[in-house]
Structure 1
Amino acid sequence: MSSSLPIVISVTSGKGGVGKTNVSVNLALCLSKLGRRCVILDADLGLANVDVVLGLTPERNLFHVFHEGVSLSDILHPTQYGFSILPAASGVSEMLSLSTGQKLELLEAMDVLEDSIDFLIVDTGAGINDNVLYFNLAAQERLVVVTPEPTSLTDAYALIKVLKLKHGVDKFHIVVNMAKNEKSAKDIFAKLYNACDHFLTGVSLNFVGAIPQDKAVRQAVIQQQPFCSLSPDTDASLAMQRIARNVAQWAPQDHLDGNIKFFWKKLLFAE
């Protein structure tokens, strides 16, 4: 039984290819090593790849919850790294848009997890489509992953702008991935911060950390393992551990609405 309510974190981005799923997986691993109980929900519903990054082949996924009546417990897939995943389907067009009924199904199904985890990490798709916006609206904390590419910053700003102007979301955490160095990462954050400060009144951006370019990350992707497990002492892994320690300090008492059922209620009734 969890002593406090779980915190729901979306890991999101304005564009694909920024390493969002890699951040989700390694964050879950590092939080698990800190004694936190974590589940990753693969919320890139039509192009799921959390299982691929981990080299797993689950027999069932969210498609089976919606279309075959199985429970979330049936698809909850433990990993050797101390956390579990709720896998989604890949290449299934029916999963690209959730109906109100499907959101209600998930609302009821989530009860089984609420007392047994500390963090639900929601690995969203990229961009500003309905599913991405839904999951970001429903989370208590939003971790936006950016890279040094100009298009990454532009698209991250677009995501933040839509969530702020259309839905009133004003708090975001930023992770700079594939950074050349710490100074470069802070410069990238400053550009995003200045754009938001200039054009979007009341947006709060928090720099959580930077993950440097590291050959070990690429090697881990090829071997379908988290880089923090395959090469725990490299620069990228040490940076990820610092980010996880930061995230682990996010206090549950600051999230009185932060239980998982509330997450799904918000998801269900999001406009």
Structure 2
Amino acid sequence: MSSPESRRFDAPAMQPIRTLAVTGGKGGVGKTNVSVNLAVALAELGKRTLLLDADLGLANVDVLLGLSPQYTLADLVSGRCSLEQVLIEGPAGLLVVPAASGRRHMAELRPAEHVGLVNVFSDLERDLDVMVVDTAAGITDSVLTFCQAAQDAAIVVCDEPASITDAYALIKVLSRERGVNRVQVIANMVRSQNEGRALYDKLSRVCERFIGDVSLNYLGAVPQCDWLRLAVQRQQAVVRAYPASPSARALSEIARRASRWQAPAAPRGNVEFFVERMIRQGAPA
């Protein structure tokens, strides 16, 4: 009879996971709402989805989904539990990794500890298709590391000068300091699809002029919508609470586009979520 170790060695390697970090240059652009609804919509499309709350100091993914976690990332970092114990099930079978709100030490983790958090996910023995990472706002080390570690970074931007300026600043830092050369753009709280496209064009022109080597891709626009505010009050994702609402339809369409992305075939050679799965498949490091 084979030992547990040999059985685990002989087991087929789990597939690589597509990872998307959702971020924003500044707070108040609706980044977490976009993250939560994209993750729920992906789960409803049949994708085995994990949502990581990586806003380490001011986490609220669990609040938006009406969840009551027993453990959070703060417990994981302190050694009180394993990553498997942190996982909590949300709507549509979505798996959630909650963080802790109001823990200043979590917001002040060292760069090596952010990398350590990324590496922890290589040991997660779950068959998943996609992970959505809700980062903090700004250009802190945690934001840069989590965006670098995902295959794609999506920046949520609103049609206001501060949002556009801060989104540009974040794209510039990601490009120059972390080598991120492809960024997805989601226009949020717009009055029309045309306004969303115009907002993307505005940001794209500035990046093309002053950064040059970054490819921006327009992922879609989410309209200003009272149904979204009502869903937040009910602590539900709008794609489930009010699926026919304008914001829910827009977010579901963005999720459908993201669901067609291919999982990575090989590691890129830097800090990366689930990198061990690609190495185990025999992909060149």
Structure-1-length-normalised TM-score = 0.91
Q: CA contact under 8 A between 1:32 and 1:83: conserved in structure 2?
A: yes
Residues 1:257 and 2:270 are matched in the alignment: no
- Whichever residue aligns with residue 153 of structure 1, its letter is I
Give, in whole Å, the separation in 2 of the partners of 1:205 and 1:108. Answer: 27
Residues 1:184 and 2:186 are matched in the alignment: no
Q: CA contact under 8 A between 2:22 and 2:31: conserved in structure 1?
A: yes
Q: What pairs with 1:184-203 in structure 2 (closer than 5 Å)?
A: 184-203=195-214
Give, in whole Å, the separation in 2 of the partners of 1:52 and 1:79. Answer: 11
Q: Cα deviations across residues 84-107 of structure 1 (Å, max 9, x unaligned)?
A: 111111111110133466456545
Q: Cα deviations across residues 104-153 of structure 1 (Å, max 9, x unaligned)?
A: 65456424435411111110000001111111111110011011122111
Q: CA contact under 8 A between 1:139 and 1:263: conserved in structure 2?
A: no
Structure 1 residue 201 displacement after superposition: 1.4
Give, in whole Å, the separation in 2 of the partners of 1:260 and 1:61. Answer: 19
Comparing 254-263 with 23-32, which one deviates more in the overlay? 254-263
- Whichever residue aligns with residue 262 of structure 1, its letter is V
- Whichever residue aligns with residue 245 of structure 2, its letter is T
Structure 1 residue 34 displacement after superposition: 1.2
Which of 206, 224, 236 is matched with 1:225 structurally? 236
Which of 25, 33, 58 is matched with 1:22 structurally? 33
Residues 1:5 and 2:19 are matched in the alignment: no
Q: CA contact under 8 A between 1:12 and 1:144: conserved in structure 2?
A: yes
Q: Cα deviations across residues 37-96 of structure 1 (Å, max 9, x unaligned)?
A: 111111000110101111112121011111133101111010133201111111111101
**1:244 matched residue in structure 2:** 255
Give, in whole Å, the separation in 2 of the partners of 1:215 and 1:63. Answer: 34
**Which structure 2 segments of 5+ residues have no match?**
1-11, 278-285
Residues 1:128 and 2:131 are matched in the alignment: no
Give, in whole Å, the separation in 2 of the partners of 1:185 and 1:42. Answer: 26
Give, in whole Å, the separation in 2 of the partners of 1:169 and 1:135. Answer: 11
**2:8 matched residue in structure 1:** none
Give, in whole Å, the separation in 1 of the partners of 2:26 and 2:255. Answer: 23
Q: CA contact under 8 A between 2:16 and 2:274: conserved in structure 1?
A: no
- Whichever residue aligns with residue 61 of structure 1, its letter is T
Q: What pairs with 1:106-145 in structure 2 (closer than 5 Å)?
A: 106=117, 109-113=120-124, 115-145=126-156
- Whichever residue aligns with residue 15 of structure 2, its letter is S
Change (3 A) 1:235 1:67: same
Q: CA contact under 8 A between 2:114 and 2:145: conserved in structure 1?
A: no
Q: Cα deviations across residues 201-225 of structure 1 (Å, max 9, x unaligned)?
A: 1110000100111110011111111
Change (3 A) 1:3 1:221: same
Query: Which has the greater radius of gyration?
Result: 2
Comparing 19-28 with 105-114, which one deviates more in the overlay? 105-114
Change (3 A) 1:263 1:158: farther
Residues 1:63 and 2:53 are matched in the alignment: no
Give, in whole Å, the separation in 1 of the partners of 2:166 and 2:119. Answer: 34
Q: CA contact under 8 A between 2:20 and 2:153: conserved in structure 1?
A: yes
Give, in whole Å, the separation in 2 of the partners of 1:100 and 1:127. Answer: 15
Q: What pairs with 1:159-170 in structure 2 (closer than 5 Å)?
A: 159-170=170-181
Give, in whole Å, the separation in 2 of the partners of 1:158 and 1:185. Answer: 20
Question: In the comparison of the two structures, how many residue pairs are matched?
Answer: 263
For the residue of structure 2 that corresponds to 1:110, the secondary structure is helix
- Whichever residue aligns with residue 21 of structure 1, its letter is T
Change (3 A) 1:114 1:6: farther
Q: CA contact under 8 A between 1:97 and 1:131: conserved in structure 2?
A: no
